[in-house]
Amino acid sequence: MLETITVRVFRGDANGGEEKEYRVKTFPGMVVLDAIHQIQAEQDSTVACRWNCKAAKCGSCSAEINGKPRLMCKSRIEDYYGEDGIIRVHPLKTFPLIKDLVTDVSWNYKTAEKIAPLSVSSGVPRPFRMQQVDVERVQEFRKCIECFLCQNVCHILRDHNRKDGYFGPRFMVKLASLDMHPLDEIDRRAQLHSEAGVGYCNITKCCEELCPEHIHITDNAIIPLKERVADEYYDPLKKVIRLIFGRNGRKMPVSSSSKK
């Protein structure tokens, strides 16, 4: 390992900015977040970044390292500096910049508010009985640490800025975790089809590839949700049946706006 490396950190705010270079002493096992902390403590205490657990459990320290969206706490420096000994650290591109490596991710929290929580009918006996095999898929989705790296890399949000039309991979995973919950009684298809915009995803799997929790976002969450929606809205036979007999599905469709 090199004894010192150069870390080029983006410094700036909503009005613009540029990379600033810092020389950093290395130590075994060092991660990019350590380098930022060292800069704050020894060179420039105004460098802004978010972090909490430093163990890849909280999803706070998301950034773009050499252009790749990553958790800084989980990114070993030797995996990122090349022969020139340089690592470049930039903020997430998809969200408005506040300062340096800190972006305004509040859109995600506003989106979360649109998703109705689990609702279990009072007729279901308590305590709940669910088999492990039936909850395993839901548990996969619930591993999400809300680092928003998937949101950052999703080209619907990143390149096309369709935050008005698509909730993004994080919330597809959330909706899937509720939709596939054995006891949830809410029909979420209408919401998926309309405001959540599941149709926008064209399965490039960029999100799935970089999920630090290794959630199969596209394969296990988005594709099944797309199938559920297609089944409801685009099945020609069902459409005819609906026209004749009206809608009498298992569950009543509910959108977030009609929830209490």
Partner 1 sequence: MEAYREHAFDVLIVGAGGAGLRAAISVMEAGLSCGIVCKSLLGKAHTVMAEGGAAAALGNMNDGDSWEWHFVHTMKGGGYLNNPLIVEIYAKEAPERVRELEEYGAVFDRTPEGLIAQRTFGGHVPFKRLAHVGDRTGLEIIRTLQDKAVSLKPKIFMEMTVIRLLKDGGRVVGALAYDRHTGEFIVFHARAVVLATGGWGRMYKFTSNSWESTGDGAAMAFEAGAELIDMEMVQFHPTGMVWPPGVRGILVTEGVRAEGGFLRNSKGERFMFNPEYMTDVYRGKFAETEEEALAWLSDSRKHRSPPELLPRDVVARAIYKEVRAGRGSPHGGVFLDVSHRGEEYIKRKLPSMYEQFRALGDIDITKEPMEIYPTIHYTMGGIRVEPETCASSLPGLFAAGECAGGLHGANRLGGNSLTDILVFGKRAGDGAVQYAQSVSGGKASAEEIEEEMATMLAPLNAASGENPYVLAQELQEAMQKGAMIERTEAGLLECLDKVMELQKRAKSLRVEGDRCYNPGWHTARDLQFTLRISEIIVRCALERKESRGAQWRSDYPGLSEEWGKKNLVAVKEGDSVKIMERPLPEMPPHLKAIMEEKK
Write out the residues near partner 1 by the rule CB under 8 A: 13, 27-31, 34, 40-42, 44-60, 74, 76, 98-100, 102, 105-106, 109, 112-113, 116-118, 120, 126-132, 135, 138-139, 142-146, 177-178, 181
Min. distance of Cβ 237 from partner 1 in angstroms?
34
Query: Helix, strand, or coil here: 183?
Result: coil
Pure H helices in the chain: 32-42, 106-112, 132-141, 149-153, 155-158, 169-179, 189-193, 206-210, 223-233, 236-245
Nearer to partner 1, 166 or 171 (CB): 171
Look at the alpha carbons of 104, 110, 115, 117 in this order and tell me if their dihedral is positive or negative: positive
Contact 254, 196 (CB under 8 A): no
Minimum CB distance to partner 1, residue 248 (Å): 28
- How far apart CA 151 and CA 161 sit, in angstroms, is 11
C-alpha dihedral, 13 to 17 to 23 to 27, nearest 10°: 40
CB 189 within 8 A of CB 156: no
- When the beta carbons of 178 and 230 are compared against partner 1, the nearer one is 178
As measured in angstroms, the least distance from the Cβ of 63 to partner 1 is: 14
Residue with Cβ nearer partner 1 (44 or 159): 44
Q: Which is nearer to partner 1, 70 or 226 (CB)?
A: 70
Q: How far is the CB of 150 from partner 1 (least distance, A)?
A: 15
In whole angstroms, the minimum distance from the beta carbon of 44 to partner 1 comes to 7
